[in-house]
């Protein structure tokens, strides 16, 4: 068997000579090494030193059978390692989860393992989502929830309990989707049977949360970017919002992580952090670097344009993922604070960092842009996602247009 080695992860079969059996043999294990840490996975096979040394060239039928079984064990672990590495999610917790070692019979333990895996991978935003979902789950169901307890009826009661507690359908959808993800991983690991799976058509279907989406008109956007109350802070955060709008509706997390290496001539190339750890196919987004965006960089950007420097100097290169997340949340709050000031002065409701992305998509749609182009520029995985995303804006437009039908000018 070959030794796999990529991006600091090594997978190899080895004879564990630390523990000799009564017959004088040793267990054969699959050793995975990552960041100087080693984990050993049993194959269920034992060989003597002599048998191990001649395994590659043996013609002995018994040893050939052992060799075949070892190859199967090796390839099973290697496949999981490669999948996690491709997803940017490799950690020993994640590996154990996929192999079924970190998954017990309780949903609680599975949630804790998932959260640890996300933190290890630097997916702090996702880990916070799972932490919130888990806290509420434990509040409702206790600290020892077995997988078989989660039935269609249980999920319906859980949904009603959250509604009664004042949770929005957006939150309910998010919390229950996290439970479904845990179930999907448990099913893939062979820890639960298909009959135990409570989600899907004819079973429990997760409600769709329709959050408030505000898409601005071009006239409103012009008012916003022209607004000034005489303070540098308002102009600064206003311009960051405008940059977000122009840069394909990039979210603030990705905006603040942009480096000068992301700029290639008159284009900006980046990946959405939101889907980087969840999508197997990494979709690079390309945005045109417009003259307005160049002016914003010149005014507020990092004066040192070295490739490894952030375009906007809010983050430093040595902060931890948790520190980075807190800093991004702080800047997002500041932007929203000043957008609220602008909103009140211009009498344009609900302006926020989210509005930039919503407005980018709706302005293109209203201008007649091809939906495939909009989908690609937003970084959506398929057209259906884009169609659903735009649906709320189209309804908003229909409501506004319907008012014209009875606008008799009285």
> What is the average pLDDT across 331-348?
95
Note the Cα 124 to chain centre separation in Å. 9
Nearest to 361 by CA among 246, 274, 277, 255: 246
Q: Are 183 and 147 in contact (CB under 8 A)?
A: yes
Q: Are 140 and 161 in contact (CB under 8 A)?
A: yes
Question: Please, which pLDDT band fits residue 211 given cuts at 50, 70 and 90?
Answer: low
> What phi and psi, each to the nearest 5 degrees, are found at residue 19?
-135, 110
* pLDDT 10s digits, 358-396: 999 989 988 888 889 999 999 887 888 788 777 766 666
Please give the Cα distance from 171 to 162 (Å, whole number).
9
- The residue with tokens 């997760």 is 206
Cβ neighbours around 315 below 10 Å, total: 18
| Lowest-confidence region among 183-192, 222-231, 253-262 | 183-192
Domain borders along the chain are: 4-86, 92-196, 218-404
DSSP string for 228-281? --S-HHHHHHHHHHHHHHHTTT--HHHHHT-BGGGEETTEEEEE-HHHHTT-SS
| Lowest-confidence region among 14-23, 135-144, 286-295 | 14-23
> What is the average pLDDT across 205-227?
83
Question: Please, which pLDDT band fits residue 102 given cuts at 50, 70 and 90?
Answer: very low
* pLDDT 10s digits, 111-162: 988 887 787 677 788 888 999 999 999 999 998 898 989 999 999 999 999 9
Please give the Cα distance from 251 to 229 (Å, whole number).
25
Q: Are 210 and 174 in contact (CB under 8 A)?
A: no
> What is the average pLDDT across 209-232?
85
Confidence at residue 5, expressed as pLDDT on a 0 to 100 scale: 87
* Percentage helix, strand, coil for the chain under 3-state DSSP, each rounded to 5: 55, 10, 35
> What is the average pLDDT across 26-45?
88
Please give the Cα distance from 202 to 205 (Å, whole number).
8
Average pLDDT, the chain: 87
Cα 273 to Cα 93, 95, 250, 276, 324, distances in angstroms: 21, 22, 10, 5, 13
Confidence at residue 399, expressed as pLDDT on a 0 to 100 scale: 66
Confidence at residue 292, expressed as pLDDT on a 0 to 100 scale: 96
- The residue with tokens 């799972």 is 130
Asked if residue 281 has pLDDT above 90, the reply is: no
Cβ neighbours around 94 below 10 Å, total: 24
Cβ neighbours around 281 below 10 Å, total: 7
Please give the Cα distance from 364 to 390 (Å, whole number).
10
The residue ranking higher by pLDDT, 395 or 232, is 232
- Can you read off the two tokens belonging to residue 129? 């989502």
Please give the Cα distance from 161 to 163 (Å, whole number).
5
Confidence at residue 244, expressed as pLDDT on a 0 to 100 scale: 97
Nearest to 253 by CA among 238, 235, 275: 275
Please give the Cα distance from 96 to 103 (Å, whole number).
8
Please give the Cα distance from 286 to 251 (Å, whole number).
14
Asked if residue 45 has pLDDT above 60, the reply is: yes
Confidence at residue 291, expressed as pLDDT on a 0 to 100 scale: 95
- Among the CATH numbers 3.40.50.1820, 3.30.420.40, 3.40.1360.10, 1.10.443.10, which is that of 218-404? 1.10.443.10
Residue 67's H or E segment, with its range, is: helix 61-86
78-92, 164-178, 203-217: range with highest mean pLDDT: 164-178
The residue ranking higher by pLDDT, 89 or 54, is 54
Polymer length of the chain: 410
Asked if residue 187 has pLDDT above 90, the reply is: no
Q: Are 361 and 378 in contact (CB under 8 A)?
A: yes
Please give the Cα distance from 60 to 41 (Å, whole number).
25
| Lowest-confidence region among 41-50, 158-167, 221-230, 284-293 | 41-50
Confidence at residue 99, expressed as pLDDT on a 0 to 100 scale: 75
Residue 120's H or E segment, with its range, is: helix 107-120
The residue ranking higher by pLDDT, 16 or 210, is 16
Question: Please, which pLDDT band fits residue 350 given cuts at 50, 70 and 90?
Answer: confident
Q: How far apart are the first and last CA of the chain?
A: 85
Please give the Cα distance from 99 to 41 (Å, whole number).
10
> What is the average pLDDT across 176-201?
87
Confidence at residue 262, expressed as pLDDT on a 0 to 100 scale: 96
Confidence at residue 56, expressed as pLDDT on a 0 to 100 scale: 87
Asked if residue 302 has pLDDT above 60, the reply is: yes
Residue 86's H or E segment, with its range, is: helix 61-86
Angle at alpha carbon of residue 128, lines to 127 and 130, rounded to 5°: 65
Q: Report the share of the chain in percent with pLDDT over 90.
A: 49
Q: Note the pTM of the prediction, 2 decimals.
A: 0.60
């Amino acid at each position: 068997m070959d030794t796999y080695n990529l991006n600091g992860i090594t997978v190899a079969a080895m004879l564990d000579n630390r523990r000799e059996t009564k017959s004088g043999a040793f267990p054969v294990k699959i050793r995975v090494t990552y960041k100087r840490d080693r984990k050993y996975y049993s194959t269920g096979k034992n060989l003597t030193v002599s048998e191990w040394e001649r395994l590659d060239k043996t013609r002995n039928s018994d040893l050939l059978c052992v060799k075949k079984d070892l190859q199967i064990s090796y390839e099973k672990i290697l496949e999981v390692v490669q999948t996690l590495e491709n997803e940017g999610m490799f950690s020993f917790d994640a590996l154990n989860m996929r192999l079924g070692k970190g998954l017990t019979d309780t949903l609680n333990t599975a949630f804790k393992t998932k959260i640890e895996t996300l933190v290890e991978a630097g997916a702090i935003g996702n880990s916070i989502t799972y932490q919130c979902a888990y806290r509420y789950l434990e509040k409702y169901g206790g600290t020892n929830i077995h997988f078989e307890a989660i039935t269609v009826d249980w999920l319906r009661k859980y949904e009603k309990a959250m509604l009664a507690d004042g949770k929005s359908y957006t939150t309910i959808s998010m919390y229950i989707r996290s439970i479904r993800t845990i179930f999907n991983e448990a099913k893939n690991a062979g820890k639960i049977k298909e009959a135990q799976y409570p989600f899907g058509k004819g079973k429990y279907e997760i409600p769709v949360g329709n959050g408030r989406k505000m898409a601005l008109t071009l006239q409103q956007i012009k008012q916003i970017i022209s607004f000034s109350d005489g303070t540098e802070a308002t102009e600064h955060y206003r311009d960051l919002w405008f940059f977000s709008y122009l840069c394909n509706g990039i979210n603030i997390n990705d905006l603040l992580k942009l480096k000068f290496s992301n700029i290639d001539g008159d284009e900006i190339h980046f990946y959405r952090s939101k889907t980087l750890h969840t999508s197997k196919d990494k979709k690079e987004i390309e945005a045109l670097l417009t003259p307005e965006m160049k002016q914003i960089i010149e005014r507020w950007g990092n004066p040192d344009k070295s490739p490894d420097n952030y375009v906007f100097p809010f983050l430093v290169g040595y902060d931890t993922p948790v520190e980075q997340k807190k800093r991004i949340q702080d800047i997002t709050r500041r932007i929203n604070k000043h957008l609220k000031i602008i909103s009140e002065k211009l009498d344009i409701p609900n302006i926020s960092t989210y509005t930039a992305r919503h407005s980018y998509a709706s302005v293109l749609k209203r201008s007649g842009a091809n939906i495939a182009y909009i989908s690609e520029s937003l970084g959506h995985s398929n057209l259906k996602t884009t169609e659903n995303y735009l649906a709320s804006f189209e309804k908003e437009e229909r409501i506004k247009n319907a008012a014209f039908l009875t606008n008799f000018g009285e």
